[in-house]
Amino acid sequence: MEDLTTRSGQTTASFEGAAFVEDGSRVAGSLRVLEGTLEFKPNASDQHLIQMPLENLDISAGGNQNRLIYFKSPARSGISIYTTDRSILKEPALQKPHLQPAIKKIVGRHRRVKGGYWTLAAVTLGLVVGAWLGRGLLFKAAIDQIPPEAEVKLGELVEKNLTSSMSVVQDPVVNEGIDTMTKPLLEVAESPFPFKFQVVHHQDVNAFAIPGGSIFIHSALLQKADSAEEVAGVLAHEMAHVIHRHGTQLLVRRIGLYVLIGAMFGDTQGLIAALADQGGFLLSQKFSRDFERQADETGFNLLVKADIDPRGMLSFFRRIKEFQEEQMSETEQSAMAVMGTHPATDERIEFIQQKIDELPPDRKFQKIPLDIQKIQRRISLPE
Ligand SMILES: [Zn+2]
């Protein structure tokens, strides 16, 4: 908070914050409480000032641990302004009888939540220690309490946030190809999550899953693949991340259980604010080695069950590793981008090789009826 001097010579405090405007986008700026009006001034000079009359002003707390103070007004429907600076509640202009019940409720609620926060901190600490001792089983047990439908809703929010900055491939030939590769996997996967696959234009060789079943495939991954079996191997691995709720576990660690639980019960503003602040973090976030191992194992089993040759998974990892080494000698930075969230390590390659060796020697698999080059030609076409 900083003091600004108004024309009349009085000082008016300014509070850092942001506004969600009619189209759902977030605008950063600062708040001031003037006599009769709450004023929001965007940081960007090309954005308009937002004013809300104090009469009918709706004040509420929300977001992570109710740290955000929201202001809404029927006079400016579709807009909400917020700040994390709680000292705004002490502004003289807000000390009006009609606003006091809401302010008292927030201050009281904050105290209660603080108590709850420490209980949660103790539980979390217990879970972390438990996870360390019990190989994540206790933590997983806590995640398992989240109903799948809530996780799907959460995933929709994350997806909306991600796809706004990505270019999704709409080509029916590409999407039919993805259907052909994933159909056998979908038939055998036992999952409460509805899987959905989308190809996005991206030059890094990668694929990633978000909570609730949405899986994104970078166009460069399809370009680098030699067969449909190789792509299916990566997709089975991603499906395994969804089935084991790895993304949700990561989100819980990253933005806190409160925000997620709030979002699952309809208070989505905190999550939207967190995602707006940390957009794309899922893309850059690495899963632990344990998660990767688990996704490799479950993915491998899915492939075998679906009658898809798991050697595709192995050959793709081997090629990615060669490619990584090749790139490493040129520039280390671009190498980091290759399968950034899924490094092809010797350990993983050995593990999959071992699983293949354990298969009966006469085990035969169905060939996926898809020419991968057909998809590759479509992707390389200019838009
Ligand atoms: Zn992975």
Å from CA of 208 to ligand 1 middle: 7
Q: Write down the pLDDT at residue 157.
A: 79
Strand partners, 29: 17, 42
Both 159 and 285 in a single domain?
yes
Q: Write down the pLDDT at residue 266.
A: 66
Domains in the chain, number? 2
Please say which residue of 107, 123, 155 terminates a domain.
Answer: 107
Both 240 and 181 in a single domain?
yes
Q: Write down the pLDDT at residue 148.
A: 82
Give residue 202's domain range: 146-380
Buried/exposed 143-176: b ≥16 CB within 10 Å, e otherwise:
beebebebbbbbbebbbebbeeebeebeeeebbe
Residue 144 CA to residue 138 CA, distance in Å, equals 10
Q: Write down the pLDDT at residue 320.
A: 82
Å from CA of 340 to ligand 1 middle: 10
Both 64 and 158 in a single domain?
no
Both 164 and 254 in a single domain?
yes
Å from CA of 284 to ligand 1 middle: 12
One-letter identity of residue 141:
A
Q: Which residues of the chain have pLDDT under 50?
A: 3-9, 113-115, 129-136, 279, 332-338, 340, 383
Buried/exposed 39-74: b ≥16 CB within 10 Å, e otherwise:
bbbbeeeeeeebebebeebebbbbbbbbbbbbbbbe
* Sign of the alpha-carbon dihedral angle for 331, 337, 340, 342: negative
Q: pTM for the whole thing?
A: 0.61
Q: Which residues contact 72 (CB under 8 A, 6 or more apart)?
A: 52, 57, 58, 60, 79, 80, 81
Å from CA of 204 to ligand 1 middle: 15
Q: Please give all residues whose CB falls under 5 A of ion ligand 1, grouped by chain where several chains appear.
A: 292, 295, 342
Q: Write down the pLDDT at residue 54.
A: 94
Å from CA of 200 to ligand 1 middle: 18
Å from CA of 181 to ligand 1 middle: 18
Both 183 and 330 in a single domain?
yes
Å from CA of 258 to ligand 1 middle: 26
Q: Write down the pLDDT at residue 8.
A: 47
Q: Write down the pLDDT at residue 285.
A: 63
Both 251 and 304 in a single domain?
yes
Q: Write down the pLDDT at residue 120.
A: 56
Strand partners, 209: 215
Phi first, then psi: what are they for 218, rounded to 5°? -70, 145
Both 167 and 261 in a single domain?
yes
Q: Write down the pLDDT at residue 365.
A: 97
Local structure of 24: helix, strand or coil: coil
Å from CA of 292 to ligand 1 middle: 5
Both 205 and 298 in a single domain?
yes
Q: Write down the pLDDT at residue 346.
A: 83
Q: What is the CA radius of gyration of the chain?
A: 25
Please say which residue of 78, 107, 136 terminates a domain.
Answer: 107
Burial of 369 (0-12, 13-18, 19+ CB in 10 A): exposed
